[in-house]
Structure 1
Amino acid sequence: MDTKALRPRTRIQTEKRELILEAALEVFSAHGFRGSTIDQIAEAAGMSKPNLLYYFRRKEEIHETLMQRLLDTWLAPLKELDDIGDPLTELRSYIRRKLEMARDFPRESRLFANEILQGAPRIKPMLEGELKTLVDEKAEVIKGWMRAGKIVKTDPWHLIFSIWATTQHYADFDVQVRAVLGPDRGGDGRFDDAARFLEQLFLDGLRPRPDRLA
């Protein structure tokens, strides 16, 4: 048994781990898992390789820790989708939260995208377990809104996928977005513009009308 893992971490140990994880996030998001090395992470963290390996034994352990944190962060807005609330208000809030994450966590989004593009070899159990369970749960919430006539009938899973795709685009393809919008529209206001457009796209499409509820 690893007795070191059982002992509470000191403040310095916690700070060192956070320093390593921050450096690893920068390296992994830039180079992907395969293109990143322990030496690169140690250099980015400003510490020696042996010192880093005291806190994390392998590159895989660092990556797994980052991916679990990322999944927890990514799922938080979806967990807040409330079946008691007004559907359009709940979905508007979800779209806004996802865009805020695209704005505030672009490196995390690129890290996740890199892992998915490689076939998700290190996080597939998370996707098939925790992620699938939550999406299935919220799909049932959305279907309940449909049965109650509060939004039009559609496929709830593909609705969630579409929100993911359109919001995370602003993190994963930010360089492209800013280049196409140009200097006049490519500043911080692009996220507000995106939010207004996506709200119109999704919410107007889901808003109930007598001819669309059947």
Structure 2
Amino acid sequence: MAEDGSPEGGTKPLSRIQARNRRRILEAALDVFSQAGFRGATLDQIAERAGMSKPNVLYYFDSKDSIHVALLNALMSRWLAPLERLGTRAGEPPLDALMAYIRRKLEMSFEMPRESRLFAGEVLQGAPRMAPHLDSTLKPLFDEKCALIRRWVDEGQLATVDPEHLLYSIWAVTQHYADFEAQVGALTADQATARERAATHVDALFFRLLAPRQKT
């Protein structure tokens, strides 16, 4: 499925107006779903946010569920791209590769908080609409990167870490800034430097964890 929610592969291409309206609906739905969750969101809310009538929304998507699935499909490819790139650059030291991944995940939390909350909300419900992606896409990628990190540890290029729990920790720390954005905003003293300070802290936290120990 394309990022505008349209089907791909042998189907009639959308007109410019149709593509624009789909993007408009998806943008509005992202706002509504990220704030109210799937269960709390309604087609009326999405239509109002999009500035369209409910029948017009239903012309492009036949249900709230289909809008949600379209958003999740578009999100997965963007969300997994940094993990897919991990370890693919020739000659890049493993520690540098992991730190670049962590920094990008933190940047995405500041740049894409709605998308992060959409993903988190789906998982908290048991991933009823995203389960196929988790099984067919995320699990093989996760296993591949865990094996890569384990090899780096065995080669002495990283400190001893559990690859699975390392990735869980990276996601937990970086996505906290998106999923708990309201709390972070309320508690952070200096908003002007908040993002910079978060980056400095997260960078130092994981560098200390991952840097190989000097042999004595």
Length-normalised TM-score, structure 1: 0.90
Aligned partners of 1:89, 1:64: CA distance in 2, in Å? 35
Which structure 2 residues correspond to residues 7-86 of structure 1 after superposition, within 5 A? 7-82=12-87, 84=90, 85-86=92-93
Aligned partners of 2:153, 2:211: CA distance in 1, in Å? 11
Once the 2 structures are TM-superposed, how far is the Cα of residue 210 of structure 1 from its aligned partner?
A: 4.5
Bigger shift: residues 112-121 or 202-211: 202-211
Q: Does 1:175 align with 2:182?
A: yes
Aligned partners of 2:158, 2:191: CA distance in 1, in Å? 33
Which residue of the other structure, out of 139, 161, 182, is the alignment partner of 1:132?
A: 139
Write out per-residue CA displacement over residues 56-113 of structure 1, whole angstroms, 9 at most, x where no aligned residue. 1111111001011111111111111115421111111111111111111111111111
Length-normalised TM-score, structure 2: 0.90
Asked if the contact 1:139/1:156 (under 8 Å) is kept, the reply is yes
Q: CA RMSD in A?
A: 1.8
Aligned partners of 1:178, 1:53: CA distance in 2, in Å? 36
Aligned partners of 1:70, 1:191: CA distance in 2, in Å? 23
Structure 2: runs of 5 or more not aligned:
1-9
Q: Name the structure 2 match of 1:95.
A: 102
Aligned partners of 1:96, 1:38: CA distance in 2, in Å? 36
Once the 2 structures are TM-superposed, how far is the Cα of residue 16 of structure 1 from its aligned partner?
A: 0.6
Aligned partners of 1:139, 1:14: CA distance in 2, in Å? 39
Q: Name the structure 2 match of 1:206.
A: 210
Aligned partners of 2:42, 2:78: CA distance in 1, in Å? 25
The amino acid across from 1:192 in the alignment is E
Which residue of the other structure, out of 159, 164, 188, is the alignment partner of 2:166?
A: 159
The amino acid across from 1:203 in the alignment is F
The amino acid across from 2:20 in the alignment is E
Once the 2 structures are TM-superposed, how far is the Cα of residue 11 of structure 1 from its aligned partner?
A: 0.8
Q: How many residues align?
A: 206
Asked if the contact 1:177/1:186 (under 8 Å) is kept, the reply is no
Once the 2 structures are TM-superposed, how far is the Cα of residue 186 of structure 1 from its aligned partner?
A: 2.4
The amino acid across from 1:170 in the alignment is Y
Aligned partners of 1:142, 1:30: CA distance in 2, in Å? 35
Q: Name the structure 2 match of 1:104.
A: 111
Write out per-residue CA displacement over residues 24-68 of structure 1, whole angstroms, 9 at most, x where no aligned residue. 001111111111111111111111111111111111111001011
